[in-house]
Each structure stands twice: as structure tokens, then as C-alpha cells.
Amino acid sequence: MSSPDVQPLTSEPRWHERSAVLLLIAITLLAMGWLCANDFTWWDDQGTVHQNPWLLPPTFGTLVHYWLMPAYSLYIPVTYTVWAGVAFFAQMPKDQHGIALNPWLFHSTNVLFHLLSVLVAYRILRLLNADIFAAVCGALLFGVHPVQVEAVAWVSGLKDVLSGFLALVALWQYVSFSLSDIQGRASFTRYLLATAAFVLGMLAKPSAMALPLAALAIDRWAIGRDWRRVLPAAIGWAIIALPIAGIARWAQEASNTQLPAVWLRPLIVFDSLAFYLEKLVWPMHLAVDYGRNPTTVLAHGWCYWDWILPVGAAILLLAGARTRPVLLAAGMIFIAGCLPVLGFTPALFQFFSTTTDHYLYLSMFGPALALAWLLSVHPWLPLRFCTAAILIVLIALTIRQGAYWQNDITLFAHDTQVNPNSYVGFINLGGAYQRMDDPRRALAAFREAVRANPEYALCWSDLAASLSGAGEIDEAIASAQRSIDLQIRNPNLRLSWSQDNRLLGHLLLEKDKFAQAIPYLQTASDLDSDNRQLANELSDAKKRAATQPTQK
């Protein structure tokens, strides 16, 4: 082969392979199996799964709907097909929060696909001639690194896990195709299987569209085929990805995200890569909201110096490409896995943060490949002991990180500790306390949300509702008015427009300010014309305002 690092797959006793697979299953379940007992969250899970009427119960119409239409600004019909299948078996009587689905089955689905991903990663590494110990360590780095917890622990993260699994299956078949071609017996069936898995991966989550870059990197620098054979296969995948990329762009509603000028976007990209490299090496203080949106990054000036880390790493990989090509392939896989969401184009969550752990799910195969190469090329006993010790530490950190995902209280209490300015974390924490019937803590959380971001209307909206429940009418009126004023200034972010107008109308009625209440009740009624109670309240307010000409 042209690559100095790849030789034909080494022959090992069959029981070694079986033992390796059993070890991978046991350790992955040790690290991630606890997640099956967690509750649903209200961090997207209510919209995607447990309050989703299309899954209560699922029907054939559910599949038709999700294959024809996007949801939550994503076109992910394969993921919704899996959710529909799980929901069919997960029906149960509604609990006090209106949840009629068993969370255990959904969490178990995430864990199952993650486990399958680990096993496929192991198989790819073995095909690339990592010895069994090296391949096991590489697959475990992919499987038990703490940054993987978010995608696996979050029911809505199935889109990342499922897409990542299908992408790894595609790489597995692609590698088999490339190796067979080198051996003079190219199996185009493998390429067709790889292509089918690639398409399904993109339909599970569109970010898999960057997989051609990962396949190209493995083919050229890990396997060693020449460009003449590499490019046609990679270009074929890129062409297939174009229509799905177009659908993803159409479905993705990211009007709330304001990207900086084009010439500044590379700084955002480098900042994201630097942040991810830091979490790769030092996976501490992980959270669901890091608050690293473009505006914050540019305001703090991080991006004007932290580009040094990813650029420096790229220079080292390129400089060593002739003698250590597999490391260059690993670096490109790491980038390819999160390329669509690094900051070149807007993404929905980028309003809160460009960086988030679940974006790294597929990217983690890059470090897995690098570790397997290192242990295979340098089979020193001290290095192997050190690797095993590091993996044990990662397992412990992963178990601890998974515990934060037990429920919304544990999740967002941790999130707001890591990021004290996570206003979205405080909003969700307040909502969790409300569902627990703890209005005092809910009110405190909403006040913290307003402190963290007084320019976000939803903070004021939730505070207004909480103050109203506490009987603080005057402060509730001021908070609701503040929320409405912010939404008037930014029509793209009218997240609570209807309820705020209705609440403010009700609060003004309680203060006998009927004339002032009318325009807010009118706006709410226009948005909810079938609500007879609201229509009656509006009519009553008009009558009482007519008999009360003087308003205070």
C-alpha cells in the first residue's frame, strides 16, 4: 500500500475478537447504561417526543407527515421513523405532567444505537489494521468520552446518535470497498451499501452531509489510494448530498441568529474548534449551553487569539502528512463531523451558542482513529498502561456527567453552575420548579434569567407569569410590558407574543384598567380567534371601559 501505516488486517485468534467485542459492550454499558433510567427533559423532548401529538399514538399518517414536512426546523424523517416505532411500544397512562410515553424505552434506544456505533468504530479500526488492544482503546475513546454524554443522554439527541451510527456504517462499508479495490477485487456492492447508509444518515440529521470529506481523508491518508481513485467516489457522495443540503437549508429556520460579516466568520469557526479541542483534552465543566454565540465571542475577543490552537494543530498535521498520514486523516474527520455547524452558516441553536457537545458525536471518531494508530505504531507497554488509566478516568467522568441528565432540575442546576449567564438554563430551571409546584424557586430562577439577559423577551415573559401567580401584580404588569416591548422591537423573536398580551390584559383587568387592557386582549383574541373565553373577556372589558370613562 502507498500509506506506510496501513497493512493488511492482522490475523488474531477468533476468541480474541469475541472477547474484545464483549469488553466493548460491557464497558460502554457501564459508562452509559445508567442513562436508561433517566426521565424525559423539557429541553426539546416535549416537542419532539413526549408532548408530540403525532406520536400519541403514532400512525401511518405520522410517517407520511414527517417524510413530507420538516419539524423543529430540521428535516429528519429517519429519526422520526425510529421515534414512531419506539412510541408504538412506549404508550402508557398519562402522568401528572401529561406524559404518556415511557422514557426508559427512548433512552434505551439512544444507548443501543450508541453501543452499535462503538462496535462499528471498532470494526473500522480493525480494518485499518489497528491491533485488537489499539482498536478497543480507540473505540472506547469514541464511546466513553464525556462529550458523548449529551447526545446519548438526551432523548432528542437520537438524531445525532442515529445519524452518527449510519455515518459510521457508511465509512465501514466504504473502507471495505477501498481495501477490496486495492486488492484488485473491488466490491461495488460495498460502495452501494455505503452510499445507502450515507443517505439515511443525512435523513437522520443533515449534518452528515460532510461525510464525503471524512471518507476522502480515510481513503487517501489512512488507506493510501491515489487521488485518481479517491476523488470519483468522494465527489459522487458530494453530488448526492447537494439536494439534501438544499432541503436542510430550506427547513432550517435560523432568522433569530445574526452572523457576523463574512470575513469574521473564520474567527468564529476557529474559536469553535479551539473550544472543542479543549473539551477533547480536558472534558470538565460540560454544559448544554456554553453561551458562545458569535456576538459574545466577538465581544470578549476570544477569537482574536484562540485561533492559534487549531491553526497550530493543522500545521503540525500537514507538516507530518508524509510520515504520519493517518493523523491528518483523523484531524480531517474531527473537522468534518462538525463542519456544518462550526459557524460558516447560521444554525438555529447558534442564537444561544455555536458550540455544544452533541455536535461532536461523529467527530469523535477522528481522535479514536488517532489513538488506535498511536498504540499500533508505538506498542510500548507504558503507553498502553497510561491509555488504560486515562480511559478509566474518562469512564468515571462520563458516569458523573450522565447523572446530571437525570431530570430537568439536575440538568439545568448544573448548566447554570457551569455557565452563570445561561439565561436559557435559568428559564428551563424555573419551568422545572413550576412543574414541581415550587413557585418560590421558580420565581428565583426567572429573576436570574432576567439578570443574565435582560434583552431576551422570554425571560421577562416567564417572570411575569411567575409574579402573577405569586400575587405581585404591579411587578408582573411591568415584566409583561417589558416582554411585549422587546418583541415589538424584534418581530423574529415573538416567542410568547400571544400569552404575554393575554396575561397583560388580564393583569390590567385585575387593576380595573379596562381601557388599557383592551388592546392587549384584542391582540391575543386576533391570534386565538376560536377562544370563546378570551372573546368574552374582551367584550366584557369593552363594556366596562365604556362605563368607566376615567382611567387611572
* Residue 482, in any domain of the structure: no
In a domain, 376, yes or no: yes
Q: Buried b / exposed e across 335-347, counting CB within 10 Å, b at 16+?
A: bbbbbbbbbeebb
Q: What's 98's DSSP letter?
A: S
Q: CB neighbours of 457 closer than 8 A, spacing ≥ 6?
A: 482, 483, 484, 486, 487, 490, 493, 494, 495, 496, 500
Question: Do the Cβ atoms of 324 and 330 come closer than 8 Å?
Answer: no
Assigned domain for 515 exists? no
Helix extents (H) in 354-407: 365-377, 381-403
Does the residue 148 lie in any domain? yes
Amino acid in the structure at residue 143: G
Question: In the prediction, which pLDDT does 254 show?
Answer: 58
Residue 8: what pLDDT? 45
In a domain, 435, yes or no: no
Q: Is residue 46, in this structure, part of any structural domain at all?
A: yes
> Average pLDDT per run of 10 along the chain, which is 552 residues long?
45 82 98 97 96 96 95 93 98 94 98 98 96 97 98 98 98 96 86 97 96 97 94 93 87 70 93 97 97 93 91 95 95 96 87 96 98 96 97 98 98 98 97 96 98 96 96 96 94 88 93 91 88 86 79 47
For residue 202, which of 365, 74, 49, 354 has the smallest C-alpha distance? 74
- Cα angle at 461 between 455 and 463, to 5 degrees? 95
Report pLDDT for 5.
Answer: 45
Give the range of the structural domain holding residue 164, as residue numbers without chain letter. Answer: 14-403
The count of structural domains within the chain is 1
* Structural domain includes residue 235: yes
Would you say residue 162 lies in a domain?
yes
